Structure 1
Amino acid sequence: MQDTIKEIFTESIQVQIAAGEVLPSALESAAFTIAQSLINGNKLICCGTANCHMLAQHMAGVLVNHYETERPCLPAIALSQESINLGQSTQVDDYDTFARQVRAFAQQGDLLLALAINGNEKQIISAVEAALTKDMKVIVMVGDDGGELVGLLGPNDVEIRTPSKRPSRIIESHLVNLHCLSELVDLTLFPQDENYV
């Protein structure tokens, strides 16, 4: 059993090293996009598949509260996974839950951060499609080959693709990537004195 534990840690570390080699440019671009959107008075809207939903909530919470350094609140929200009660006469498909919220709450200039595993999750695809119809920029965190999701992205959108096929490793990488974005956004919007530790 201890060998299995060591293998899990080793695989996780290897994925993080691989991600560290291929993702810096995408993460830099995503951080700049988030910072610019916030400077322009817009908000970050986060959503994630069932196994990434907690990460979407975490990112929104980090911006509204703070990452590691106290700073003013930043406008961000995580979309609800629950189907919104639209009355007994209306049936909402599960895959449309995020898309309907994007159509209801998002404004042009807002930014969608969508977290997925393989990029073929209909709930996330429909949310991205809804965002694009509102001329929103999109940042997608995904793994594997990116699936259908990456085919929707335009030149102003950002794809952050973890080099792994395993959902557990992708989720772990998403968390590191979100923390990286949080730190970069804070450094961009609220630069600290060089001597600050």
Structure 2
Amino acid sequence: MILSVLEQHLDTISQLKGLTQEIATIAKTCSQALKAGKRIYLMGNGGSAADSQHIAAEFVGRFQIERQPLPALAFTTDTSLLTAVGNDYGFDEVFARQVRAFVQPGDVVIGISTSGNSGNILKAMACAQEQGGVTIAFTGQGGGKLANCCDYCLAVPSPVTARVQEAHILIGHIICQYVDEVLYGAQ
């Protein structure tokens, strides 16, 4: 079983080589937005919520070099807001209300959904586009509904949720390293 999981992981990661152009475009989009004084917002459910928090932390804290904090926020961290909005407006609104409150034109909004079909992510992405945000989806194989309703969709070519999540965090780290190199000359 362990060797099988490792082989699945390596196969999925190896297939990311076919997505290098898409990853580079997304990394460039994020670095250009940050350079222009814009912000990055991230969101997801379950493990993807944790991934959005992890990536935001890499931007605000640091990735591999000492540098100024970069403005990134995961919409998954305020439990009072999430539960109040979920209770009063429904779970599909938990991210959309935050998008309406915070996203400005040119900000980057990253929605992470392994299926590509999370209702609250779909609604938030539509709101982000209405407000002039640049929308990026990290999904699994096929991209789901998100593939057709965002500016960029990075669909990891695997149907296995765990392998997709492993690839998403690697992609997040690649983007952070790219931003460090472009904005701060880090090697």
Same fold (TM > 0.5): yes
Q: Distance in 2 between matches of 1:190 and 1:175?
A: 22
Equivalent residue, structure 1, for 2:94: 97
Measure how far apart 1:85 and its partner are.
2.9
Report matched runs for 1:16-27 at 5 Å: 16-19=13-16, 21-27=17-23
CA RMSD of superposed structures (Å): 1.4
Structure 1 position 117, deviation (Å): 0.6
Rounded Cα–Cα distance in structure 2 between residues aligned with 1:99 and 1:50: 17
Q: Which residue of 2 aligns with 1:188?
A: 182
Q: Render the CA deviation track for 1:173-197: whole Å, top value 9, x for unaligned.
A: 00111111110111111113xxx6x
Q: Does 1:151 align with 2:145?
A: no
Q: Give the Cα–Cα distance (whole angstroms) in 2 for the partners of residues 172 and 107 of structure 1.
A: 30
Q: In the alignment, which residue of structure 2 is the partner of 1:165?
A: 159
Residue type at the aligned position of 2:160 = R
Amino acid at match of 2:159: K
Residue matched to 1:70: 66
User: Is there any run of 5+ residues in structure 1 with no aligned partner, and where?
Assistant: none
| Number of corresponding residues | 183
The question of 1:112 aligning with 2:104 is answered: no
> Percentage identity across aligned positions?
27
Aligned to 1:35: 31
Deviation, 1:51, is 2.1
The answer to whether the aligner puts 1:51 opposite 2:43 as a matched pair is: no
Give the C-alpha shift of residue 146 in structure 1.
0.7
Q: CA deviation at 1:102?
A: 0.4
Structure 2 distance, partners of 1:80, 1:17, is: 30
Q: TM-score, normalised by structure 2?
A: 0.93
Superposed displacement of residue 84, structure 1? 5.1
Tell me the TM-score normalized by structure 1. Answer: 0.89
Quick check: which has more Rg, 1 or 2? 1
SS for the counterpart of 2:179 is helix
Distance in 1 separating the partners of 2:103 and 2:8: 38
Residue of structure 2 aligned with 1:178, choices 157, 172, 175: 172
Task: Write the letter of the residue equivalent to 1:183.
Answer: Q
Q: Check if 1:133 corresponds to 2:135.
A: no
Structure 2: tracts of 5 or more residues without a match: none
Where is the helix percentage greater, Structure 1 or Structure 2? 2
Secondary structure of 1:45's counterpart equals: strand
Question: SS in structure 2 opposite 1:85?
Answer: helix
Show CA shifts across 1:81-106 (max 9, x none): 642536xxx72210110011000111
Q: How far, CA to CA, are the matches of 1:85 and 1:147 in structure 2?
A: 28
Q: After TM superposition, which residue ranges in structure 1, 4 or more long, deviate above 4 angstroms?
A: none
SS at match of 2:88: coil
Distance 2:69 2:47 in 1: 27
Mapped partners of 1:84, 1:164: distance in 2: 32
Q: Which amino acid aligns with 2:18?
A: V
- C-alpha deviation, 1:42, in angstroms: 0.7
